[in-house]
Each structure stands twice: as C-alpha cells, then as structure tokens.
Amino acid sequence: MTADFRTRAGARSAARQAARREARHAARDAALERPEMAGAGGRSARGIAWNVGTQGIAYAVRLASIPVLARILSPDDYGLVAIVTAITGLVTVVGTLGISEAVIQRPRIDHAQSSTLFWLNVALGTVLMLLAMASAPLVALAFGREELLGITLATATSFALAGLGVQHHALLMRRLQYRQVAIRQGVSVVFGILASVAAALLGAGYWALVIQVIVQTGLGVALAWAAVPWRPGPPRRRSGIGGMLHFGGGVSSFHLVNYVGKNADAVVIGAFLGAPPVGLYSRAYNLLHAPLEQVLQPVANVMRPTLGALWGDDERYRRYYLTVVAGLSYVCMPLVLVLVVLADDVVAIMLGPQWTEAVPVFRWLSIAGLAGVVGYTNGWLYATSGRAWQWARWALVSRPIGIAGFFVGTPWGIEGVAAVTAVIGVALAPVGLYLAGRGTPVSLVDVIGSVVRPFLVAAAMAGAALGSALLLDEQGAVVTVLVAGSVAAAVGVLLAAAWPRVRREVADMWRTLTSRASGD
C-alpha cells in the first residue's frame, strides 16, 4: 500500500515537473517568435506613445539635472569624461557585433541560435572590458592627465555589464514589445541621472558622470532580464548563426565607423585645444541632441522592427516610412530652428554664465542637426532591406570627410570645428538619402517631398521667435524663451490650421499610424 502510494505520488510529481518544463519551454519559444503584423499601425502608434512618454519623463529629469550639474561640475570635469567615453565607446560599438539588428531583422530564430548569440556577447563584453582596462595607462599618458586612468578603468566595467543584456533587449525589440522597451530605457536613464546628481552634490566631481554610466547600464540589463522570460542554454558550435553574424558584421562596421566619425571631434579638440574646450563643445552638443534624441530614439525603437516586419509589402513600407519622416520633420525642424535663434538665452538658462563660449558652437551644431533629422532615418532603410554592408560602405566614405573637417576647423577653435561640421553635414545629407533609398520602395524625391512643408513651417516659427526675442531684449532670458517659444508654437498651430496641405498631411499621419490591418 505504501509503495503504491509512493509510486502514484512520484508519478504526480513527475507530471507536474513535466508540465512546468513545457510551460517554461512555451514561454521561452514565444519570446523568440516575431508577432503577426495585423494592426501594425495601431501597434506602432502605441509603441511611439509609450516611448515618447517614458523618454519625456527621462528628459524632464535630465533637463532638471543639467543646470544643477553644470553649476557643480566644471568644463574640465566634463572634458575628462568626454575624452574617455569618446575613446572607450569604440569598445561598446564593436562589442555588440550588430547582433541586435540581426536578431530583429531575421524572420526566424531558435533557442540554440539565441543562446549561442547570448554567450558570444558575454564573452566579447568581458574581453573588451579587459582590453579597455589595459589601455587605461595609455589614455592617461596620451592626454597628460592622470585622472583619465581611473575614469577609464571604471568606465570599462560597463562593457561586461552591457554584454549580459544585448540578447534580451534584441528579443524585446523583435517581439515589438515597445512598452517594456520604453519602461526599461526610461527607468534606467532616470536612476542613472539621479545617481549622478546625488554623487555630484556629495562632492564626487567628475566621478558623478562615471557613476551615471555604470548605474544606467547595470539597471538596464536587470530590467531587460526581468521583462524577457527567455533564459539562455549552453552555446552550440553548429547553431546556424553565420548569416546573422554576417549581417551583424555590416551593421557593426557601420556603427564603428560612425562612432569614430561622431566622436573624433572630442579627441581632436582635446589633442589640439585641451580638455576645457572639449567640455564646452560637448555641453553644446548635448544641449542640442538631448531634446532631439527624446523624439528620434523612441521613434527609431518602434520603426526599425516595424519596417523590418513590413519588408516585402512595398506600398505599406513606403507609406509608413514617409509618414514617420514627415512627422519627425514637423516636430524636430521647428525645435532646431527655434533653438538657433534663441541660443544665447537657452545656454544662459541651462548652463549658466560660465558657458557663454558655447553659444556659437550650439548654433552651428544646430544647423548640422537640422540636416541630421532626416539623415537619422537612413539606417532604417539599410537595415530593414538587409543592406548592412552598403550602409557600412557609405560610412567609410562620409565619416572620413567629417573627420577631416574637424582638423580643418581647429585653427579657428571650437567654433571653427562646429562650423565645418555644419557645412559638411548639409552637403552630404541628400547624397546619403539617395543611397539609402536605393533598393527600397523609397526614393530621394519622396523624402524631399515629405520634408519641404515641415521646413517652411519651421522657418516661419523661427522667424516669429526671433522677432519676439528682439522685442523682449531687456526682459531676461527666461521671459524671452517662454514668450518667444509660445509665439513660435502659436504660429505653427495657425499655419497647420490655415494651410490645407499641412492639414491633410497631419490627418494622413494620424490615419496611417493608427490604422488596423483591415484598413491598410
């Protein structure tokens, strides 16, 4: 009797364990599947809303932290950290191998492939952390600042942390789980900033900026693991990841060259002009790109996987892309042009009087940013059409031109570097758009047609802001920015209401982004 009872109990226990295994395997496999694209428009709209909302909260925290940190930390503090992040950031770019984009783009992926990619990222993150640590004495020696040794060693630990989260983040994006992606990014940014401010108030100096990087990276990885039920198994030698690595190699090559091109300004300025000018330049750059990234990055998080899933349906692909480009232009172009005309007051408010030399740099970089708003979307076309290596080849042509421009501008100081950057950015923008559109349903003419009216609206808004600022010259920076910004916004709303074509474009954007499959 006892033996029979034990047999039945053992059988029930084994059945429960088998059911739990099946449930875990079902959840694991579901995390690897790409969802159907029915209702793509509604899903995209909700994804953008979630991303913009969480990024908006993060940006509000970042915005509040800028004047606090700028008054506690010096340009030299920012310059030291900017030099290290410009150099060690190369390790971060190489360390991902473009695997996230490959996972998002691939129609199917199995558990063995995902596990092998996970362990590959972990191994690369660890190796590159050790390489970055080994390079720390050379960085300090090259720039003649012993502080750079400790900053480089501490920053390098974030590479190993990041390697633990690459695959989980890619799976979130692949599954179009935009809410989880948005929450993860927003929470990690907010807590990183809060940790930085707390450290600065306690007198940590430049270490406050290093702490921000480590906290943000570590928390982001922890939240990605919490959001994805998939857990890695052992790596497999013949798991069939060769195609993904080839595609990811092209993406990684682009990002590597692009990173060098974007961050060579800090290295060139630091080598020729010193750390304080790097701090001035980096603060001007961040003051412009922080608001732009709050718009561009959330939309990119949604559009890369969405366009990838729509590849093959030419009409829907083209319509979604052009709709989003027009929407970005209506938001970002007015923002950039208004910042250009109000640069003196914006810098005075956000950074304080010790940063007045950053004003002309801010203006020139804003002009470059205007061209970069649409150019930012080039990568969507390359990646979702599977042309990663063509993307890398464009970077190999365009970025060396930009780097040469940094050297050309240094005799005129940081303003010269910024001015040359703006000229090159505007000149290369149409070429980049043309090449990105080849092999896709999108043409350069399509893109130009989608940005002409947003640019005209933005120019009118900037003119209204400038006129208001001139009338309010003696009223102080805060009053000038508030009133001039409000006038510019009012002009934009009036133009949208009075210009029939703009009204139709806004209505089309709304219908496209909220449409269901039955209406597509």
Instruction: Give, for all 520 residues of the chain, the pLDDT tens digit.
Output: 565 656 665 656 655 565 555 555 554 544 555 555 444 555 555 666 666 666 667 767 776 777 778 778 887 888 888 878 776 666 666 656 667 777 777 767 778 888 888 888 888 888 888 888 888 898 888 888 888 898 889 988 888 888 888 888 778 777 766 677 777 777 888 888 889 889 988 888 889 888 988 898 888 888 888 888 888 888 877 777 777 777 777 877 887 788 777 778 877 887 787 777 877 788 888 888 777 877 777 777 777 777 877 777 888 888 888 888 888 888 889 988 998 888 888 888 887 777 888 888 888 888 888 888 888 888 888 888 888 888 889 988 988 998 888 888 888 888 888 888 889 988 998 999 899 988 899 989 989 988 888 899 999 999 998 888 888 877 788 888 888 889 999 998 888 888 888 877 777 776 665 554 333 3
Phi and psi for 311 in degrees, rounded to 5? -60, 130
Distance from the Cα of residue 36 to its chain's centroid: 26
| Cα–Cα dist 484/466, whole Å | 7
Q: Are 252 and 95 in contact (CB under 8 A)?
A: no
Q: Are 200 and 69 in contact (CB under 8 A)?
A: yes
Residue 35 is classified by DSSP as P
| Cα–Cα dist 234/115, whole Å | 6
- Return the exposure string of 355-391: e unless at least 16 CB atoms fall within 10 Å of the residue's CB, then b: bebbbbbbbbbbbbbbbbbbbbbbbbbbbbbebbbbb
Q: Are 199 and 208 in contact (CB under 8 A)?
A: yes
Q: What is the distance in angstroms between the CA of the first residue and the CA of the last residue of the chain?
A: 66
Q: Are 261 and 341 in contact (CB under 8 A)?
A: no
Q: What is the model's pTM?
A: 0.70
Give the distance between the most distant pair of CA atoms in the chain: 98
Residue 203 is classified by DSSP as T
Residue 396 is classified by DSSP as H
Q: Are 51 and 299 in contact (CB under 8 A)?
A: yes
CB atoms within 10 A of CB 288: 25
Structure tokens at 120: 């590959």
| Residue 220, Cβ density class (10 Å: 0-12 exposed, 13-18 middle, ≥19 buried) | buried
Phi and psi for 97 in degrees, rounded to 5? 55, 20
Q: Are 331 and 387 in contact (CB under 8 A)?
A: no
Q: Are 442 and 321 in contact (CB under 8 A)?
A: yes
| Cα–Cα dist 64/230, whole Å | 37
Residue 98 is classified by DSSP as T
Q: Which of 440, 460, 424 is nearest to 377 (CA)?
A: 440
367: enclosing H helix or E strand: helix 358-375
Q: What is the pLDDT of residue 514?
A: 57
CB atoms within 10 A of CB 27: 13
| Cα–Cα dist 254/369, whole Å | 20
Can you say whether the dihedral through the CA atoms of 110, 111, 116, 122 is positive or negative?
A: positive
| Cα–Cα dist 333/271, whole Å | 33
